[in-house]
Structure 1
Amino acid sequence: MSVITEDGVRGENLFRDISADGDDITQIESMCMNCHLNGMTRLLLTKIPFFKEVIVSSFNCDNCSWSNTEIQSAGRIQDQGVCYTLKVKTKQDLDREVVKSDGATTKIPELDFEIPPFTQKGALSTIEGLIDRAAAGLEQDQPLRRATDPEVADKIEEFIQKLKTLKEVESEFTLVIEDPSGNSFIENPIAPQKDEALTVTTFTRTMQQDMQLGLRADDDLDEEPAGNDIETMKDEVLAFNTNCPECNAPARTNMKIVEIPHFKEVIIMATNCDSCGHRTNEVKSGGATEAMGTRITLHVTDPSDMTRDVLKSETCALSIPELEFELGMAAVGGKFTTLEGLLKDIKDLIVSKNPFTCGDSSSSDRVQKLQAFGEKIDKIMAGEMDIHFILDDPTGNSYMQNVYAPDPDPEITIEKYTRTFEQNEELGLNDMKTEGYENEK
Structure 2
Amino acid sequence: MSVISEENVRGGSVFKDISADDEDGQPTEIESLCMNCYLNGTTRLLLTRIPFFREIIVSSFHCGNCAWSNTEIQSAGRIQEQGVCYTLTVKTKQDLNREVVKADSATTRIPELDFEVPPFTQKGSLSTIEGLLDRAIAGLEQDQPVRREADPDVAEKIDGFIQKLKKLKEVEDEFTLVIEDPSGNSFVENPVAPQKDEALTVSHFKRTAQQDMQLGLRADDDLDEEPAVNDLETMRNEVLVFNTNCPECSAPASTNMKLVQIPHFKEVIIMATNCDSCGHRTNEVKSGGATEEFGTKISLHVTDASDMTRDVLKSETCSIIIPELEFELGMAALGGKFTTLEGLLKDVKDLIVSKNPFICGDSSSEDRVQKLREFGEKIDKIILGEMDVHVILDDSAGNSYMQNVYAPDPDPEMTIEKYTRSFEQNEDLGLNDMKTEGYQEEN
1:82 corresponds to: 84
Q: Tell me: CA distance 1:76–1:40, structure 2 relative to 1, closer, same or farther (3 Å).
A: same
> Residues 105-124 of structure 1: matches in 2 within 5 Å?
105-124=107-126
Assess if the C-alpha contact under 8 Å between 1:98 and 1:187 holds in 2: yes
Structure 2 residue 42 is the aligned partner of structure 1 residue 40:
yes
> Residues 274-289 of structure 1: matches in 2 within 5 Å?
287=261
1:178 corresponds to: 180
**Cα separation, 2, equivalents of 1:23 and 1:132:** 28
Count matched residues: 271
1:332 corresponds to: none
Structure 2 residue 123 is the aligned partner of structure 1 residue 189:
no
**Cα separation, 2, equivalents of 1:227 and 1:110:** 38
> Residues 149-228 of structure 1: matches in 2 within 5 Å?
149-222=151-224, 225=227
2:326 corresponds to: none
Task: Tell me the CA shift for residue 409 of structure 1.
Answer: 5.4
Supply the AA of the counterpart residue of 1:120.
Q
1:16 corresponds to: 15
Q: Tell me: CA distance 1:226–1:161, structure 2 relative to 1, closer, same or farther (3 Å).
A: closer
Residue of structure 1 aligned with 2:268, choices 271, 279, 290? 290
Q: Tell me: CA distance 1:134–1:169, structure 2 relative to 1, closer, same or farther (3 Å).
A: same
Task: Tell me the CA shift for residue 93 of structure 1.
Answer: 1.8
SS for the counterpart of 2:154 is helix
1:405 corresponds to: 309
**Cα separation, 1, equivalents of 2:27 and 2:2:** 15
**Cα separation, 2, equivalents of 1:395 and 1:63:** 68
2:419 corresponds to: none
Task: Tell me the CA shift for residue 90 of structure 1.
Answer: 1.8
**Cα separation, 1, equivalents of 2:199 and 2:91:** 8
1:311 corresponds to: none
Residue of structure 2 aligned with 1:29, choices 27, 32, 36? 32
**Cα separation, 2, equivalents of 1:179 and 1:99:** 11
**Cα separation, 1, equivalents of 2:186 and 2:102:** 5
Supply the AA of the counterpart residue of 1:27.
I
Q: Tell me: CA distance 1:293–1:68, structure 2 relative to 1, closer, same or farther (3 Å).
A: same
**Cα separation, 2, equivalents of 1:160 and 1:107:** 15
Supply the AA of the counterpart residue of 1:215.
L
Task: Tell me the CA shift for residue 27 of structure 1.
Answer: 0.6
Assess if the C-alpha contact under 8 Å between 2:259 and 2:270 holds in 1: no
**Cα separation, 1, equivalents of 2:163 and 2:260:** 53
Q: Tell me: CA distance 1:158–1:37, structure 2 relative to 1, closer, same or farther (3 Å).
A: farther
Task: Tell me the CA shift for residue 71 of structure 1.
Answer: 1.0
SS for the counterpart of 1:221 is coil
Assess if the C-alpha contact under 8 Å between 2:16 and 2:25 holds in 1: no
SS for the counterpart of 1:98 is strand
Assess if the C-alpha contact under 8 Å between 2:44 and 2:59 holds in 1: yes
**Cα separation, 1, equivalents of 2:144 and 2:220:** 37
Q: Tell me: CA distance 1:391–1:216, structure 2 relative to 1, closer, same or farther (3 Å).
A: farther
The two structures have a TM-score, normalised by structure 2, of 0.50
**Cα separation, 2, equivalents of 1:173 and 1:108:** 7
**Cα separation, 2, equivalents of 1:293 and 1:115:** 35
Task: Tell me the CA shift for residue 36 of structure 1.
Answer: 4.4
Q: Tell me: CA distance 1:394–1:94, structure 2 relative to 1, closer, same or farther (3 Å).
A: farther
Supply the AA of the counterpart residue of 1:408.
E
Q: Tell me: CA distance 1:266–1:170, structure 2 relative to 1, closer, same or farther (3 Å).
A: closer
Q: Tell me: CA distance 1:165–1:36, structure 2 relative to 1, closer, same or farther (3 Å).
A: farther
1:315 corresponds to: none
Supply the AA of the counterpart residue of 1:51.
F
**Cα separation, 1, equivalents of 2:31 and 2:347:** 63
**Cα separation, 1, equivalents of 2:225 and 2:47:** 38
- The gaps in structure 1 that reach 5 residues or longer are 4-9, 231-264, 268-283, 296-317, 327-387, 415-435, 437-441
Q: Tell me: CA distance 1:294–1:212, structure 2 relative to 1, closer, same or farther (3 Å).
A: same
Kindly report the root-mean-square deviation, in angstroms, between the aligned alpha carbons of the 2 structures.
4.5
Supply the AA of the counterpart residue of 2:30.
Q
**Cα separation, 2, equivalents of 1:168 and 1:121:** 26
Assess if the C-alpha contact under 8 Å between 1:15 and 1:53 holds in 2: no
Query: 1:34-90 CA deviation, whole Å, 9 max, x = no partner?
Result: x44432222233333443221110011112222111111111222221212222222
SS for the counterpart of 2:221 is helix
Q: Tell me: CA distance 1:226–1:148, structure 2 relative to 1, closer, same or farther (3 Å).
A: closer
Task: Tell me the CA shift for residue 182 of structure 1.
Answer: 1.6
Task: Tell me the CA shift for residue 204 of structure 1.
Answer: 1.3
Task: Tell me the CA shift for residue 152 of structure 1.
Answer: 2.4
Query: 1:185-238 CA deviation, whole Å, 9 max, x = no partner?
Result: 22233445543332222211111011111111123224755969x9xxxxxxxx
1:135 corresponds to: 137
**Cα separation, 2, equivalents of 1:292 and 1:286:** 7
SS for the counterpart of 2:58 is strand
Q: Tell me: CA distance 1:48–1:86, structure 2 relative to 1, closer, same or farther (3 Å).
A: closer
Task: Tell me the CA shift for residue 21 of structure 1.
Answer: 4.6
Query: 1:270-326 CA deviation, whole Å, 9 max, x = no partner?
Result: xxxxxxxxxxxxxx967497345146xxxxxxxxxxxxxxxxxxxxxx78x7xx899
Larger RCO, structure (CA 8 Å, separation 6 or more): 1
1:146 corresponds to: 148
Assess if the C-alpha contact under 8 Å between 2:60 and 2:69 holds in 1: yes
Supply the AA of the counterpart residue of 1:150.
P
2:67 corresponds to: 65
Assess if the C-alpha contact under 8 Å between 1:32 and 1:61 holds in 2: no
Supply the AA of the counterpart residue of 2:34.
M
Q: Percent sequence identity over matched residues?
A: 63
